[in-house]
Chains A and B, each alone.
Chain A
């Protein structure tokens, strides 16, 4: 330290005061540095603040809300608190006693007047069929019920005679529920309140998750197989020709979805251009027309078309940076063109392959409009069911649970990818 002080002698750049470096005016150097840094941090923060706010409002908050909705379960707790209290004393066997019905009568009347019984009925109907009918019908006449209430209830709807109904009310009398997630994995509660798999003919989601992942993987592979040669060509062509090819690759980006869909229908349908062509060429007979739309094939064809640019762009940008001298070097070292390509060229495109594959796979997993339009039934993916629960069945809790499962599985996949390949090797262009 003294040595370095020596070099500064003659200038006032730095001093030692009580073993601490200070600036010219005597402020401790550390504090001064911190102040200077603080200003920089503040400016940096102000620069990203608009984006941060935007992300918070449009992305993080809604995702948080979605995940919250997948476990949020306020209906029973807020509408039937006294009933739940009374049900605490019930052992779960047979029908509960009069106090439960008394509380029910009182609270259903209030709920009916507040018009909150509808939400309660919808919520319980997810757990047991006919619960909606039971609650709505009962709530319309509950004003006229007289003690002892039990009999009036049992007469009002057959469901009140089923002990399972009370077990469900008790089980869902918790502000948080796992039942949306259980349903999202094709599970249900059995008589004893244990989680079991649904009846085989009501299982959908696991199969659909598997199908979604399998289709996404397939689409990723096809885009890779189709995208690799074209990217390779573009990377080795002169700029002018490469740009022209790039326009062809990007064309699906610039076409409206409706135009694209219409053209797929014209091309792919049973009376469509491709089938007619195949028949005219004698490859298939008139009765052997291929079903290429409104099924899984249709979804795969259409999504491959849309997602190809997401594979080509990162591949191209990586290939563009690979100098031709590597392949030349390999050849000069005695490698055949194939060995040079496979052992020297391809490994260097891995960052592009990785980036393209991750992009295409993640986008496919969440794809929804295209399968809905050209996928028929066998071409539907999990997002279509999420949309169905958002818009048609209005079971937002289940939609949120399915969405969260999808989100988490994508994160897990990304983590695995990161472990295997390393995210820093991702090259997006």
Chain B
């Protein structure tokens, strides 16, 4: 808490100086906001940052594409006692870890976040289960299976997770991410487990064996990706026929770049993504920004630039057309009822508990190629 104190002193002495000349101006502030880069950061810049700094001209926002390693970054910054990040975009599971370690700020939703336009408090307006102890959700994104329509005859296009696991009728290589989360769920789902039962089954050793046995059936056709940008690339190069991937990136490749991709919404894996607030140097300004950037209109605005669903119930009706393409964004939202028939909601508690063990086994399984 030393630093804000010093800053306060600095600010007050600056003000007393300015008082002499009787000019009122706020100290310029740089906010470092960490996010995922690429199309995602772009959507935040256009929906949040630009409109905000247009009003608040003493604020400058610096974008840092460090979200992929956000937890490691937060840990080392707080360990070194030099927190330079003001606001960080991260996944709820990592947010929970950081929160438990006390390196990010706990959130009092109704205090710190704007209510819905109709007065519903924030804690009720955000979708159920999305707010965390230290986590403010912005979007719902999903991991989906996508295929390149040119790799299959027009009369035999795949349409379900079952088809993804059916190499006989739908030949070709498949790309999946090089970690167990998502892949094991799909394996069980394709093996006939109902979405609601998946994590109960996966918590038993037999369930894990069953999931790996199912993955074994397509192993010879598998390619693995690590970074989100790889999956549309692999599909576009026709290196693979199917790839799992983030629906926003697939949307961009298909709609903006015109790639022949089709999303299979069956068994989409749904997760939140949102803000956490480290104990950075500009807390007052950050809280002000967060209050504004997570209100109903702002969350709906982000959906103009990327096909991720807003995390507030009150934002859903405001989702409209893509800002540049002019197409209706609603059919492309993971939360669109037509897409949301058989979702699997990612269970972060499960993955924090069993993640280490399953990651080891998954790595072993991959490396045994």
Contact = CB atoms under 8 A, between A and B. Distances in A.
B365 interface: yes
Interface string B333-369: 0000000000000000100111111011101111111
A394 B349 contact: no
Nearest to B223: A294
Contacts of B367: 204, 207-208, 211, 377-378, 380
A129 B69 contact: no
Contacts of A114: 102
A171 interface: no
Nearest to A199: B361
A213 to B, nearest CB: 15
Contacts, number: 90
A267 interface: no
Contact of B102 (A115, A130, A132): A115
Contacts of A129: 353-354, 356-357
Interface stretch (B32-40, B93-101, B282-290, B315-323): B93-101
Contact of B360 (A136, A204, A380, A391): A204
A203 interface: yes
Q: State the main secondary structure of chain B at its contact with A.
A: helix
A177 interface: no
A132 B75 contact: no
A161 interface: no
Contacts of A130: 353-354
Contacts of B349: 133
A201 B180 CA distance: 14
A118 interface: yes
A118 B224 CA distance: 32
Contacts of A122: 97, 100-101
B100 A115 contact: yes
Contacts of A204: 360, 363-364, 367
Contacts of B363: 204, 385
B352 A201 contact: no
Interface string A271-296: 10000000000000000000000100
A378 B356 CA distance: 21
B237 interface: yes
A252 interface: no
Nearest to A116: B102
B359 A133 contact: no
Contacts of B212: 201
B239 interface: yes
Nearest to B209: A201
A118 B97 CA distance: 7
B72 A390 contact: yes
Given A126-B356, A269-B239, A117 B100 contact: yes
A323 B237 CA distance: 52
Contacts of B366: 377
Given A130-B353, A130-B354, A269-B239, A118 B360 contact: no
B239 A203 contact: no
A395 B224 contact: no
A116 to B, nearest CB: 7
A255 to B, nearest CB: 20
Given A377-B369, A391-B72, A393-B359, A133 B352 contact: yes
A114 B223 CA distance: 44
Interface residues of B, number: 36
Most chain-A CB neighbours within 10 Å: which of B69, B72, B363? B363
B270 interface: no
B238 interface: yes
Given A122-B97, A271-B238, A378-B367, A394 B360 contact: no
B69 A391 contact: yes
B226 interface: yes
Contacts of B75: 394
A201 B365 contact: yes
Interface in A182-211: 198, 201-204, 207-208, 211
B178 interface: yes
A270 B239 contact: yes
Nearest to B133: A140
A119 interface: yes
Contact of A377 (B224, B239, B357, B359): B224
A125 B356 contact: yes
A372 interface: yes
B71 interface: yes
Nearest to B98: A118
B360 A372 contact: no
Contacts of B352: 125, 132-133
Contact of A376 (B97, B179, B224, B364): B224
Interface in A131-160: 131-133, 136
A121 interface: yes
Contacts of B361: 201-202
Interface string A401-423: 00000000000000000000000
B178 A377 contact: yes
A118 B100 contact: yes
Given A204-B363, A393-B359, A378 B369 contact: yes
Across the A-B interface, the 9 shortest Cβ-Cβ residue pairs: A115-B102, A118-B100, A118-B101, A133-B353, A130-B353, A129-B357, A377-B366, A378-B369, A391-B69
16 contacts: A115-B102, A116-B102, A119-B101, A131-B353, A132-B353, A201-B361, A201-B365, A208-B367, A265-B237, A271-B239, A294-B239, A377-B367, A392-B69, A392-B179, A393-B355, A395-B356
Interface of A: 114-119, 121-122, 125-126, 129-133, 136, 198, 201-204, 207-208, 211, 265, 269-271, 294, 372, 376-378, 380, 385, 390-395
Given A377-B367, A380-B367, A385-B363, 9 more contacts: A125-B356, A129-B353, A130-B353, A202-B357, A202-B361, A204-B364, A269-B237, A269-B239, A394-B72
